């Protein structure tokens, strides 16, 4: 009797575990945005394939600790050390964001030529997998490695849909998502308008890149002014911390309040300035 109860209990535990780790629950948990998922997406947008979200977090923690200990040893002031430890810990994320923005600008200028090559290949009678693979030799240089891997995946598996999904993950770009989904639909339903669609998309992308470049050039002074206004007081504080006598007052409770208030005001002012000068950003709605 005891063995039967134990077996029943064990089967029940296994069924509960399988139900919790089933595809529905797994997809529900994965759909919830978290820190690691957002960092993975940011790393993909930056094109850093050899970096993981956990490695980025470890870099933030290590650099923040080194920066904090350095300022603590130099200034002998704990609140200043904590403030610069936060700045140091955020630096790797800021660098990845900067790289992601630079990569998005670069891809925005490259996609019209890539789409023109696709349209020419389709007009020449190549199949869609062949048209995408030939971008590894005829496409823009920064995109060749990505499409070379697509060709390798397709030759290894022959599964066009799965290879397109892998291509979207490597590109991590809104325009790339739209092009990939257009090709997927053309492959599934057929039709003779794909070449015309690609040529229209190419002209639209070229005009959009030209307009956005002009707007970014005009609003760059707003962004640079906001960054300079935020960085200036902290650079001055870093220079003052080289003489511990000059910053001893920050060890008092009032010094903590001054630093906290200054950091809060800098953060609010920077966000307001960036919001005023922000341009609409393409979102990946077809990921």
| pTM for this prediction | 0.76
How many residues in total does the chain contain? 287
Beta-carbon contacts of 51 under 8 Å, excluding residues fewer than 6 positions away, are: 43, 96
Q: Is 76 exposed, middle or buried (0-12, 13-18, 19+ CB in 10 A)?
A: middle
| Structure confidence by residue, pLDDT tens digits, 218-273 | 777 777 888 888 888 888 888 888 887 778 888 888 888 888 898 888 888 888 87
Contact indicator for 110, 169 with CB cutoff of 8 Å: no
Distance CA 73, CA 68 (A): 9
- The predicted pLDDT at position 6 comes to 47
Distance CA 61, CA 251 (A): 24
Contact indicator for 100, 42 with CB cutoff of 8 Å: yes
CB burial readout 206-217, b (16+ within 10 A) else e? beebeebeeeee
End-to-end CA separation in angstroms for the chain: 54
| Structure confidence by residue, pLDDT tens digits, 163-189 | 999 998 888 888 888 888 888 887 777
Whether 26 shows a pLDDT value over 60: the answer reads: no
Structure tokens at 233: 């007081």
Span 91-117, average pLDDT? 90
Whether 146 shows a pLDDT value over 70: the answer reads: yes
- The predicted pLDDT at position 31 comes to 40
| Structure confidence by residue, pLDDT tens digits, 68-91 | 999 988 888 888 899 999 999 999
CB burial readout 174-201, b (16+ within 10 A) else e? bbbbbbbebbbebeeeeeeebbebbbeb
The number of beta carbons lying within 10 Å of the beta carbon of residue 97 is 14
Per-residue confidence band for 10, with pLDDT thresholds at 50, 70 and 90: low
């Amino acid at each position: 009797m005891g063995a039967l109860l134990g077996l029943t209990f064990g089967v029940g535990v296994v069924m509960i575990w399988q139900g919790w780790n089933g595809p529905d629950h797994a997809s529900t948990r994965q759909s919830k945005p978290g820190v690691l998922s957002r960092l993975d997406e940011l790393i993909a947008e930056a094109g850093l394939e050899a970096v993981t979200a956990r490695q980025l977090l470890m870099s933030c923690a290590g650099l923040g600790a080194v920066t904090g200990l350095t300022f603590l040893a130099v200034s002998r002031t704990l609140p200043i050390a904590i403030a610069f430890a936060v700045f140091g810990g955020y630096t790797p994320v800021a660098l990845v964001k900067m790289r992601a923005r630079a990569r998005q600008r670069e891809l925005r200028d490259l996609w019209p030529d890539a789409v023109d090559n696709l349209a020419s290949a389709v007009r020449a009678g190549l199949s869609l997998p062949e048209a995408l693979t030939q971008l590894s030799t005829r496409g823009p240089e920064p995109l060749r490695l990505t499409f070379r891997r697509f060709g390798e995946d397709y030759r290894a598996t022959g599964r066009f849909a799965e290879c397109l999904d892998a291509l979207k993950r490597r590109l991590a770009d809104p325009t790339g998502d739209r092009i990939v989904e257009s090709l997927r639909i053309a492959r599934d339903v057929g039709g003779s308008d794909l070449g015309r669609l690609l040529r229209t998309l190419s002209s639209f992308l070229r005009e959009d890149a030209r307009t956005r470049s002009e707007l970014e050039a005009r609003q760059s002074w707003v962004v640079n002014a906001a960054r300079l206004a935020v960085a200036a007081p902290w650079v001055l504080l870093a220079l003052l911390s080289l003489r511990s006598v000059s910053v001893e007052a920050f060890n008092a409770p009032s010094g903590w309040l001054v630093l906290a208030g200054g950091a809060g005001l800098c953060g609010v002012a920077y966000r307001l300035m960036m919001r005023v000068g922000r341009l609409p950003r393409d979102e990946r709605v077809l990921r």
